[in-house]
């Protein structure tokens, strides 16, 4: 499913995400687009977010800030790069 929105993800990063998803429960992800710049069939987005989840029986959270590069493929947008 991750490759559907981020086809360029590396095998190592995909494996880390899969391991994370397999080991946590009650995952809630909140993402907020802070800035979006469109450029034809491409776009750059600044995104802030938070993962809230349970791991080892404990509630945890992790904040994140991402710079995304997006490309349009037909009617869909896909992530081409993450910083």
The whole-number pLDDT of residue 16 equals 94
Cα radius of gyration (the chain): 14
Residue 82, number of CB atoms within 10 A of its CB: 13
Which DSSP helix (H) or strand (E) runs through 16? Answer: helix 11-23
The whole-number pLDDT of residue 1 equals 72
- Contact call for residues 81 and 69 (beta carbons, < 8 A): yes
Q: What is the pLDDT of residues 14-25, one digit of tens each?
A: 999 999 999 999
Which DSSP helix (H) or strand (E) runs through 3? Answer: helix 2-5
Q: What is the mean pLDDT of residues 27-50?
A: 97
């Amino acid at each position: 499913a991750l490759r559907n929105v981020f086809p360029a993800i590396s095998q190592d990063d995909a494996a880390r995400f899969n391991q994370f998803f397999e080991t946590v429960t009650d995952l809630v992800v909140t993402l907020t687009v802070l800035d979006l710049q469109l450029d034809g069939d491409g776009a750059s987005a600044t995104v802030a977010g938070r993962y809230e989840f349970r791991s080892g029986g404990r509630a945890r959270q992790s904040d994140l800030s991402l710079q995304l590069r997006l490309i349009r493929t037909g009617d869909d947008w896909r992530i081409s790069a993450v910083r």
